[in-house]
Amino acid sequence: MDDETRFHPTDRDDGPVKEDPPAHTPVILGIDDLRPLPRATRIARTSSEGIQLLQEHRGIFIDELWVDHDLGGDDTILPVVALLEEAAFNDRPFHIGTVFVHSANPIGAETVVRSLSHWRYNVRRATA
């Protein structure tokens, strides 16, 4: 058998077989002083840690952000909310799929939902 009969002109060699891209590992962040949040990939326990956590994820899509309003003592989630609001005001919002507010403080939770919804973040109230 000569070379012309082994390889037909309609046969194709597309090079090496390409593998599927790796599956997306969701980025799930939590800011809560007490809850374990087992689905979270990272957890911050104070508002200042929460701000640092978000800044570390700047430019990265965050699938879910879970937040509690009351973070122990006088600390609340409001400094984190202010960071998110300021980013949106400056046309540089954080890329977050959904913000879940899971506070046992109904007035605080509603404040967070209303504030972030105003800046077009997708916000949902979750059970505490």
Please give the average per-residue pLDDT across 87-109, as a whole number: 96
Does residue 13 surpass a pLDDT of 60? no
Superfamily for 24-125?
A: Response regulator (3.40.50.2300)
- Between the alpha carbon of residue 117 and those of residues 22, 25, 74, 85, 120, the distances in Å are 33, 26, 24, 10, 5
Q: Quick one: pLDDT band at residue 127, thresholds 50, 70, 90?
A: confident
User: First-to-last CA distance in the chain?
Assistant: 75
- Reading phi first (left if > 0) and then psi (alpha if -120 to 50, else beta), residue 52 is in alpha
Please give the average per-residue pLDDT across 96-117, as a whole number: 96
Q: Is 112 helix (H, G, I), strand (E, B) or coil?
A: helix
Q: What is the pLDDT of residue 27?
A: 96
- Between the alpha carbon of residue 50 and those of residues 3, 88, 118, 123, the distances in Å are 66, 17, 21, 17
State pTM to two decimals. Answer: 0.81
Look at the chain and count its residues: 128
Residue 79 identity: P
